[in-house]
Structure 1
Amino acid sequence: MRIWICLAAVMAFWLAPVPSAQAETYLDVPYASLPGVDPESLSLDIYTPEGAKDAPVLVMVHGGGWRRGSKTNAVGDSHVPYFTGQGFVYVSINYRLAPDDPFPAFMEDAAAAVAFVHREIGRYGGDPDNIFLMGHSAGAHIAALLSVDGQYLAAQGLTPAVLKGTVLLDGAAYDIPDLARFGGRRLPRLYRQPFGDDPAVWRAASPTLQVKAGTPTPPMLIFHVDRPGAGEASNALADALRGAGHSARVVEAADRSHRTLNRSLGEADDAYAPMIAEFIRQE
């Protein structure tokens, strides 16, 4: 189902910032509209450094197993102050969730959100030609697939070249058929609701299996913690990217858990948010 961008979304009402100690904050901005879908599911929050103009933009895709989570609980206490303090516009998006809306609904939504940001972020002080994508857990899967499979952004009139870089925070579902090895050729329950039982769907939804040479693909900075499957999946994705002539770097965050890698990002003792800031500045 194609998502139609809500052209009326950016009205003066949405352009009036909500005061914040860290940044100018614009909450629940609709990026698309679909009949019968809760508008909250198709909305995003924007955090802008005061006085920003043509600032780099970091778009965050939340985790939650494709079945739960939201744009607000994706943002640790330190995300916004850290990244806006670095001079970046920070955007956190919602998307439709399984089981009511399985794959590819959340991919279509993420593409619509990126298209909205590309078209409208200049009104919020961001540079539409300097957009980075970041995701945690299930959001890392969504960000990775959006970056390597151009069909989702193509439906919005764009290509993955609109993304200057992609940051992945401890995803493990980059090769979904590989996950079925542990379930007797049946996916573990976590993955069945979003991806079903069809191996063809599993392959189509697998970033590692969708990497292609000669196609626009942003450089990737891939983090993983020390948990079963995450390191192997991250390195396999990076190997596929590099084998196809694309740029990828893998960082093991051995001192973090799956949860704290995201929640602690940007705290005073955090080593990983500065890596992301450097990645953004270098691309």
Structure 2
Amino acid sequence: MHFLSLVPFAFLLLTGCSALSAFDTAVAKDRASERVATDQRFADTDRGRLDVYAPRTNGVGAPLPVIIWLYGGSWNSGDKDGYRFAGRALAAQGFVTVVPDYRLVPEVHFPTFLEDNAAAVSWVRANIANFGGDPNRIVLVGHSAGAYNAAMLALDPRWLGADRAAIKGFAGLAGPYDFLPLDSPVTRAAFGNSADLPATQPIAFVDAGDPPAFLATAGKDSLVPPRHAARLAERLRAARVPVQVRAYPNVGHIGIMTALARPFRGKAPVLADVTAFAHSVTAQ
């Protein structure tokens, strides 16, 4: 019997990096893409490394738009090696895709993981042309805590500086964007040391100059309710920032992300919708 039929997704993805790596090893990958660089150092820390994926090609063409995939895990778990399926899936749709690691709770707290993500964006800006990517056409895509990270980089000008001009859009899958007061052990561990809690919330930084957004919710999500996306979308629309909201009724918090993998795309068209959005905001 196939490995994936023996172990439920939620168990695989919530019991640690080793289980997620086992899922990633077992799941079929997109043959139209490949990992072209591994463990590229973007910061002088033990987790300051990233991988690069690209479409398979027989020649050198025009630079491709770039997706930076920021994984979730409650800001306290995750490893880029467990997301090769996501890197390959996004790259097969015509993007140079980057998957960075970042430091996690309890070693660090807000805002260190955002600083690490920002350093990864800086590396992409300086180096992605070497892998066929366009450093001026970047879309941030994240799931759960990674969606929070993507939203903060896209909306809060503190993190990216001049590099923010290259962010053409961000896509969040089941992301928390408005979660005060801190009412869970996860959020208290990640953000409880902040002296300015409102400044930890993506919704606080919406402005008319923000990049377009794609916000996806899972109908069976018991961890991050759809109201997070609804509230952020309402604020973006009030600022006249283009925003798309998609609801996938047949998946949960984990399923909205595993729907990127080849065997499970029939659960929800997450890959098609995210990459259609990314192509639209990076069109030249």
TM over 0.5: yes
1-side partners of 2:196 and 2:218: how far apart? Answer: 27
1:27 shift after superposition: 0.9
Counterpart of 2:81 in 1: which secondary structure?
coil
Alignment match, 1:65: 74
1-side partners of 2:159 and 2:88: how far apart? Answer: 31
Counterpart of 1:245 in 2: which secondary structure?
coil
Alignment match, 2:199: 204
2-side partners of 1:24 and 1:72: how far apart? Answer: 11
**In percent, how many aligned pairs have the same letter?**
32
1:120 shift after superposition: 0.7
Deviations 1:175-232 (A, max 9, x none): 131xx2xxxxx5311111110155x53211100112123x3x1111000112355211
Counterpart of 2:114 in 1: which secondary structure?
helix
Alignment match, 1:107: 114
Counterpart of 1:69 in 2: which secondary structure?
coil
Alignment of 1:31-180 (within 5 A): 31-33=42-44, 37-38=45-46, 41-51=47-57, 53=61, 54-75=63-84, 77=85, 79-154=86-161, 158-172=162-176, 174-177=177-180, 180=181
Matched, 1:25 2:18: no
2-side partners of 1:266 and 1:280: how far apart? Answer: 18
1:72 shift after superposition: 2.1
Counterpart of 1:258 in 2: which secondary structure?
coil
Deviations 1:150-198 (A, max 9, x none): 11112xxx242211110101012x1131xx2xxxxx5311111110155
1:145 shift after superposition: 0.8
1:74 shift after superposition: 3.6
For residue 234 of structure 1, what is the amino acid of its counterpart? A
Matched, 1:224 2:217: yes
2-side partners of 1:145 and 1:151: how far apart? Answer: 9
For residue 43 of structure 1, what is the amino acid of its counterpart? R
Alignment of 1:233-248 (within 5 A): 233-248=228-243
Asked whether the equivalents of residues 175 and 233 of structure 1 are also in contact (C-alpha less than 8 Å), the reply is yes
1-side partners of 2:189 and 2:35: how far apart? Answer: 37
Instruction: Select 2:186's aligned residue among 180, 190, 200.
Output: 190
Asked whether the equivalents of residues 59 and 92 of structure 1 are also in contact (C-alpha less than 8 Å), the reply is yes
Instruction: Select 1:256's aligned residue among 248, 251, 255.
Output: 251
2-side partners of 1:151 and 1:85: how far apart? Answer: 32
221-230 or 251-260, larger mean C-alpha shift? 221-230
Asked whether the equivalents of residues 150 and 159 of structure 1 are also in contact (C-alpha less than 8 Å), the reply is no
2-side partners of 1:230 and 1:68: how far apart? Answer: 21
1:88 shift after superposition: 1.1
Counterpart of 1:175 in 2: which secondary structure?
coil
Asked whether the equivalents of residues 121 and 163 of structure 2 are also in contact (C-alpha less than 8 Å), the reply is no
2-side partners of 1:196 and 1:74: how far apart? Answer: 29
Matched, 1:275 2:264: no
1:83 shift after superposition: 2.2
Unmatched runs of 5 consecutive residues or more in structure 2: 1-29
Asked whether the equivalents of residues 176 and 205 of structure 1 are also in contact (C-alpha less than 8 Å), the reply is no
